[in-house]
Structures are given as structure tokens and as C-alpha cells.
Copies of this chain bind each other. A is one copy, B any other.
Amino acid sequence: MIYLDGNSLGPLPSAVKKRMARVVCDEWGAMLIRGWNQAGWMEQPRRVGERVGRLIGAEPGSVVMGDTLSIKVYQALVSALEMNPGRRVILSDTGNFPSDLYIADGLTRTLGDGYELRTVDPEQVMDAIDETVAVILITEVDYRTGRRHDMKALTQKAHAVGALAIWDLAHSAGALPVDVAAEGADLAVGCTYKYLNAGPGGPAFIYVAPRHQERARPALSGWMGHEAPFAFDLDYRPGHGIERMRVGTPLILQLAALDAALDVWEGVDMWDVRTSSLELGDLFIAGVEARCPELKLATPRAHEERGSQVSFEHPEGYAIMQALIAEGVIGDFRAPVTLRFGFTPLYIRADDVNRAVDILARIIGERRWDRPEFKRRARVT
């Protein structure tokens, strides 16, 4: 198998298997309720958050794990809107992951009162940031095309007009160097089951810049974000700093998998990962363009304008991807016409890329995708 889908679900790191047995048997099984103290479960969201924070350039104490990315988008949006009370517009773009847009739309309905989600084309974001905008909600790397936004420039523009910036790092964390502190992000969110290999349902993260932490309101004010959860006070008092972004009981089994998965990043320089990822992507682009002219590149060629995936378009993209998967090359398909391939140097090498190109060229050249079994749509992709 050649796995070019780490941008959707990362593979199982070898350390996870043993760690899962430990958390299930030695912690839950043997410690039972005492695991909250003895195994450090209660601190896991912060402790693991620190590890993720180092991969995205966050200041110490400014990242916490929990819930799913959509939930964290909601918390980030409410926090930002309340910190910018004179304005009513959330600005995003049509290249954003739909769930971010759905969550923002749902929030404007809950808020009523003139709140609005304004969505423009990705190329128009810079020009659309004006004095009416309360907050921009932008995913750095486009899930479909791999197109990368300029985090620094958009954040600066937002700040220049008095808006805040929320960055969704779903396709950035573990894929390329990110420096939320240096680039001035106000809040950031992301998931861990892609390039961070936390497994299906891996917990999300939220970053709040230190300058905002003591005035950010978590909106989903659950007990774990309370200043003293075990005082069981009737009134909510937000916890200090990033702690307040915790909501409910932490997802200990998922957190254990993530924690073990993060071990592979110790000593890894994200710039090395980036260099290798771009080389692999270039190799793939050159090979496919030389041998499969029917496929149209959907990803920007310039290194600074793309993430860690390469996408091609073809009207029969779905069937082509099914034929590829049948031959052991795992990428994925995004409707209506996009074939996505993720390049993850931790476990993909040039030889894998060359073999994938060979197989793709054969499928295209021999029209192997043109069979009923490849055209039948699965329930999900």
C-alpha cells in the first residue's frame, strides 16, 4: 500500500498500540476513578496541548485539547465576536472547510441581531477585510486544492482595520511550519487526526493568544473550564488563561492515542518536514503532468502558496480514485472532480511517489477506471 491520505487520516504510529493497552488496562482497568489523579488524566488536555503548541509556534500555556474542531471553531468565534462588540461580520471564504462555514452560520442564527457570515472567493479575502469585519475565520490550507493563504499578511490586514483573526490549522499542524505567535494570530484551532496521526476522532485543539486569554469567553462554559471544577459552585467562574476553553470530561482514550502519536515529533524540525514534503509534491506533479495530461493540476505550483497536499482534477475523478485504491494507492476524492494526495515525509519517500505515478499513469493510459465497480459511489469517501 502507498498511503497518500495522511491529510485525511494519519496512519497508526507504532507507539500508540502499547499506549492504548496501557490506558485501557493499567489505568482505567486498575486505577478506575483514581486514574484522574494517579494517571494524570485531569491534566491531559493541557499537557498534550503544550506538545501540540510547540508544533504551531504557540506561547507556553496557550493551547488546550478537547472536543472536535467544529466545537472549537464555535468557541473561537464567540470569543472573537465578544472582543469586538461594535461589529457584526464574520468573514470567511468559499475555500474554507464547509463545517467552519456551517458553524459560523449557525452561530449567526443563534445570535440574530444583524450578525452575518460573509463568504468571498479565496482570492478576494484580502480586499474584503474592511472596517465592518469583526473577525476573519480562515483555514490556512484549502482542504480541496491545497492552496495556502498568507497567514501573516491577512492577519496584519485584519489588525490594521480593527478585526481579529482566527486561523484553522487543520491542514497545517504537523504539515508545515506554523508560528501563530510570530504571525499574530488571535485564536487558532485545528484537528489532530490528519498530519498528527491521533487516529479517528482525535481531539481538537484551540489556541488563544496570551493577550486575549483573560477576556475570552468560552461560550460553551462547561465545568472543566471552571476556575474550580470540583468546588461544584452554582455560578460559573472562568478558569485562568487557556483552561477556560475546556468544556466537558476530557476524552482520555483519544488523548492517550494522540499523546503517544506525538512522540514521533520529538526532535523533528518542521522545516525539514516542509522541505521533504515540497520535494515529494514536486516529484508527483512532474510525474503526473508528464504522463497523465488528462489530469489538471488544481494546486498552486509555487511552494509558498501550497500546503502538503497536491490535487488534480478530472471529470471521472471518483472512478479514477477507486481504481487507484484497488491497486493499493490510497488518496481520496472530493466532489465534484478533485483527486487529493497528501505528502507526509514521516512515512512517504520518493520511491513511493514514483510508484504511485506509475500506477496512476497505467490506470489513465489503459482507462482502467472505466469499469462499473469503480463508478459505483460508496456511502462516504
Residues of A within 8 A of B (CB): 1, 3, 5, 8-9, 11-12, 16-17, 20-21, 24-25, 28-29, 32-37, 41-42, 67-71, 74, 78, 94, 97-99, 101-103, 105-106, 109-113, 119, 144, 191, 193, 199-201, 204, 217-224, 226, 229-236, 247-255, 257, 325, 330, 332, 334-335, 378-381
In the assembled complex, the Cα of A44 lies from the Cα of B99 at a distance in Å of 20
Complex contact A248–B67 (CB within 8 A): yes
Selected A-B contacts with CB under 8 Å, 19 pairs: A9-B35, A9-B36, A12-B24, A12-B25, A12-B29, A33-B332, A37-B378, A68-B251, A69-B249, A71-B220, A71-B248, A94-B234, A98-B223, A101-B234, A106-B220, A109-B217, A199-B252, A201-B255, A232-B335
Complex contact A234–B17 (CB within 8 A): no
Determine which of B24, B102, B112 lies in contact with A199 in the assembled complex, contact meaning CB atoms within 8 Å. B24
Determine which of B12, B233, B247 lies in contact with A28 in the assembled complex, contact meaning CB atoms within 8 Å. B12
Complex contact A232–B199 (CB within 8 A): no
In the assembled complex, the Cα of A200 lies from the Cα of B45 at a distance in Å of 13
Complex contact B5–A199 (CB within 8 A): no
Q: How far is the CB of A77 from chain B (nearest CB, A)?
A: 11
In the assembled complex, the Cα of A109 lies from the Cα of B378 at a distance in Å of 43
